[in-house]
Structure 1
């Protein structure tokens, strides 16, 4: 994938990169310094994503244990009902690992029916909703539940919930006796949840090497925390900052034969939802 921006002159880039380095932006972010953001009080409650790779050990054990149980029961098709950040990251992980993960992120009746018609007798449905009240996701859950009942399968025995603590979805899963419930870290926003239960559980149950993914992320963390030009995230941040100051409106993501399947849509959501604030931002376009 190639990133296409209006290219600032070298002097502008050097000055902006130096500003970010002097401000210790990268290292302060790795330390969860909420003062980097407007509305620091709110930001302080949304920094849990920073050290997700270091917090994932117990979750990885649970994923591997549940995957073994599913295999023993002959449950081979993993379907994921989730919108936005709840489905984009695990979709990329699964496609990169060349494992099957059925994504159901539309309420279009034909698409839902097609998903239900795919090996239902051996299917497990993951319902992923941070709020626990996502209407589209719950609609998909109800459709699958009705289909399971039609073939005399208890819907709860084929459903897994991923949600924040204290949500209606958690309560529903407990009441109905879902196969499993994973409670995510509430200080992690949806678009940054790739290395939380929202990303790792679906991808891991589908067969992706999520332990390896987490290990690679942990190894890269030091590079992204460095206040220097060798930090690719800092360099890209400097380019975006200059582009925004120049009122550049679009970030073009050009697909290549070597790209990771689905990465463009994931990056598109990350950039648009992160930078699209207060009527401003850069519009990502996948071509």
Structure 2
């Protein structure tokens, strides 16, 4: 993973950061790195996530998914970090089958998906550390019933990824289901490079060992300086720009296969850093699609955001055929990749032209190794930013509050008295 922050310096952007400020900030990065290294060495909660490339047992994952090797489809039931890391990998990489994710509780979507799936050839992967996550368990019960109604033995098609105790662990023991442990000390949004994120990819033939190797290389590249560590350069820059008024971070990959990556990063950043009035609002965009919609705001609206471009230097390509159509001479001899890259570079330049800070995150290609490095790098960047903000990066109290209220309402509790409702209806 490489980072180019030139278009976020104050010589180009407003808000922007000066080189002198980066020199001073680098001293804080060194201190933060020491804290991160201590946390990793002690396997502290959260910091343990950065140890995953050296500790995840890919052979154990392969063994657990072996009974499902004939699956043509994998249906993962989870939510948030229990689904987004895996979805990022399977959506981005070539697989031997299809991957679907039930990470919401929309009855129409659940029904439609189950109607369309051939459950006899579908592996069911249910993921919940506690085994009590309401959305996950509700969807799992619905899916399990669908298997039973179609006469398919769900116990022969199910993998469980869960904690050392709880409902799902008990269910796995009762029915002798293959089971993988959720790693200790790793919040869900940091679990992409663990059993949680790698198991669905392994079922579908992804080279999970390469993904872990890519992450390990990124781990080995961590130093105490933002000038030497791309992950820290990105984390420090997002922190610095937020303090200068860039309150949103638009994550804009220029590859369709990385669209889910932007969703994954949105959760990672929002849930980790959105505390005590701090943090940037992540915005998901896709190049070149959103050049024809959101770019109007980014170029002509308020300079209150950072745009993060994500780009691969190499990959498959398709030549554009010759045409007799008028006005398309400029496409002669070009490819779709050439056009995409030209649009990317033009958008990057257009934002620099109006002083909107933007950063280029580049990987070599969209493959397992590069994606593993990208995921790890962004996790390290987020942990570094949390140290600079001084927030509790690995907790999510606001999320837990909402979960508790939802459970109370389902259990028959009265609606919250302190919230006034204004309902407008059509006559």
In the superposition, the TM-score normalised over structure 1's length comes to: 0.86
Measured in 2, the distance between the counterparts of 1:77 and 1:154 equals 16
Instruction: Provide structure 2 residue ranges, at least 5 long, that are not aligned to the other structure.
Output: 9-14, 286-427
- Does 2:133 align with 1:126? no
Please tell me whether the aligned partners of residues 63 and 205 of structure 1 are also in contact (alpha carbons under 8 angstroms). no
Deviations 1:138-162 (A, max 9, x none): 1111111111111222322222111
Counterpart residue number, 1:20: 29
Deviations 1:5-45 (A, max 9, x none): 64223322222123313x2x23541342699xxxxxxx933
Match of 1:32 among 29, 39, 46: 39
- Does 2:18 align with 1:9? yes
Q: Secondary structure of the equivalent of 1:101?
A: strand
Deviations 1:119-176 (A, max 9, x none): 1111111111122211111111111111111122232222211112112221222223
Moved beyond 4 Å, runs of 4+: 1-5
Q: Using CA pairs below 8 Å that are at least 6 residues apart, which structure has the higher relative contact order?
A: 1
Q: Secondary structure of the equivalent of 1:53?
A: helix
Please tell me whether the aligned partners of residues 157 and 177 of structure 1 are also in contact (alpha carbons under 8 angstroms). no
Measured in 1, the distance between the counterparts of 2:40 and 2:102 equals 36
Deviations 1:204-242 (A, max 9, x none): 112211011011111221112453512011211221221
Measured in 1, the distance between the counterparts of 2:171 and 2:207 equals 30
- Does 2:139 align with 1:140? yes
Counterpart residue number, 2:314: none
Quick one: structure 1 residues 174 and 33, their matched pair in 2 at CA, closer, same or farther if it must change by over 3 Å?
closer
Counterpart residue number, 2:78: 82
RMSD of aligned residue pairs (Cα, Å): 2.5
Measured in 1, the distance between the counterparts of 2:86 and 2:93 equals 10
Quick one: structure 1 residues 51 and 34, their matched pair in 2 at CA, closer, same or farther if it must change by over 3 Å?
closer
Q: How many residues align?
A: 273
In the superposition, the TM-score normalised over structure 2's length comes to: 0.59
Counterpart residue number, 2:154: 155
Deviations 1:78-118 (A, max 9, x none): 11011111111111111222222111112212211232231
Q: Secondary structure of the equivalent of 2:130?
A: coil
1:51 offset after TM fit, Å? 1.0
Measured in 2, the distance between the counterparts of 1:143 and 1:270 equals 28
Quick one: structure 1 residues 34 and 284, their matched pair in 2 at CA, closer, same or farther if it must change by over 3 Å?
farther
Measured in 2, the distance between the counterparts of 1:183 and 1:95 equals 23
1:272 offset after TM fit, Å? 0.6
1:280 offset after TM fit, Å? 2.6
Q: Secondary structure of the equivalent of 2:159?
A: strand
Please tell me whether the aligned partners of residues 194 and 200 of structure 1 are also in contact (alpha carbons under 8 angstroms). yes
Q: Of the two, which has the highest radius of gyration?
A: 2
Please tell me whether the aligned partners of residues 130 and 163 of structure 2 are also in contact (alpha carbons under 8 angstroms). yes
Counterpart residue number, 2:165: 166
- Does 2:192 align with 1:203? no
Alignment of 1:1-287 (within 5 A): 6-21=15-30, 23=31, 25-32=32-39, 44-56=44-56, 59-71=57-69, 74-99=70-95, 100-117=98-115, 118-178=117-177, 180-257=178-255, 260-287=258-285
Please tell me whether the aligned partners of residues 250 and 284 of structure 1 are also in contact (alpha carbons under 8 angstroms). yes
